[in-house]
């Protein structure tokens, strides 16, 4: 009987030791697994953040110029009233057109200091020239050809073509190309704008 109790106690102690060893092994494996998982995830997150920062820097470098809208000088071409190319019935277009052209480095020169002179009006500086007035004079020599290009382009369209936003954008693009060929590289058209656009 005493032997049976000893055997029972030994079996119970062995089971307890086995249970403690098993639980300890599971806890150790869990801690090791959690540690390895943390390190791996930390490295992956760091790599992802690094690649995102790199791609955003590249986008910032590439797209920086595109984000800045280039501003030019606006030249009003005035109002146009013209026939459209509709065959079924006569349609008229009344439109106000303005173009925006690039600036030159020489358009707005630095103001020169007034020259010192003696008395009696000698050595006085000439009155400064208004840069916008000079630009308008320069563009006036091209205005007849530019107006002709606008009339030719728009009068070749039908009212249906010009009624859509896509049709207007296509007309603007074609007018831009026509005017750029007239300007011959002296300036470049940045935008064509329609102020008033009425089809009757």
**Which two structure tokens, joined as six digits, stand for 74?**
């606006």
Question: What element of type H or E holds 128?
Answer: none
Task: Give the per-residue pLDDT at 119.
Answer: 53
Contact 78, 96 (CB under 8 A): yes
For 21-25, 110-114, 128-132, 181-185, which range has the lowest pLDDT when averaged over its residues? 110-114
pLDDT at 137 over 90: no
**Model confidence pLDDT, tens digit, residues 64-113:** 554 556 678 888 889 999 999 888 888 999 999 999 888 877 766 665 55
20/40 Cα distance (integer angstroms): 30
Contact 188, 181 (CB under 8 A): no
Task: Give the per-residue pLDDT at 55.
Answer: 57
Higher per-residue confidence, 152 vs 3: 152
Task: Give the per-residue pLDDT at 105.
Answer: 73
Q: At what angle do helices 165-183 and 143-155 cross, to 10 degrees?
A: 150
pLDDT at 116 over 80: no
pLDDT at 178 over 90: yes
Task: Give the per-residue pLDDT at 1.
Answer: 53
82/195 Cα distance (integer angstroms): 16
Task: Give the per-residue pLDDT at 97.
Answer: 92
Q: Following CA atoms 84, 89, 90, 95 in sequence, which dihedral angle do they give, to the nearest 10 degrees? A: -50
Q: What is the mean pLDDT of the chain?
A: 79
**Model confidence pLDDT, tens digit, residues 6-47:** 656 677 788 888 889 899 999 998 888 888 877 777 777 777
State if pTM tops 0.85.
Answer: no
Beta strands in 84-199 (DSSP E): 92-101, 189-199
């Amino acid at each position: 009987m005493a032997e049976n109790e000893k055997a029972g106690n030994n079996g119970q102690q062995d089971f307890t030791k086995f249970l403690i060893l098993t639980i300890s092994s599971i806890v150790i494996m869990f801690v090791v697994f959690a540690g390895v998982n943390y390190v791996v995830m930390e490295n992956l997150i760091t790599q992802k953040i690094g690649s995102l920062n790199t791609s955003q820097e590249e986008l910032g470098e590439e797209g920086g110029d595109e984000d800045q809208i280039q501003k030019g000088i606006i030249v009003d071409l005035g109002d146009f009233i013209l026939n459209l190319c509709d065959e079924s019935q006569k349609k008229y277009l009344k439109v106000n057109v303005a173009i925006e052209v690039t600036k030159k480095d020489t358009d707005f020169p630095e103001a020169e200091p007034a020259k010192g002179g003696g008395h009696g009006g000698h050595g006085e500086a000439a009155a400064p020239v208004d840069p916008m007035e000079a630009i308008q004079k320069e563009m006036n020599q091209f205005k007849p050809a530019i107006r002709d290009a606008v009339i030719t382009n728009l009068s070749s369209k039908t009212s249906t073509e010009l009624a859509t936003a896509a049709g207007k954008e296509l007309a603007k693009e074609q007018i831009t190309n026509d005017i750029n060929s007239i300007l011959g590289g002296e300036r470049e058209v940045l935008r064509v704008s329609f102020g008033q656009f009425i089809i009757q």
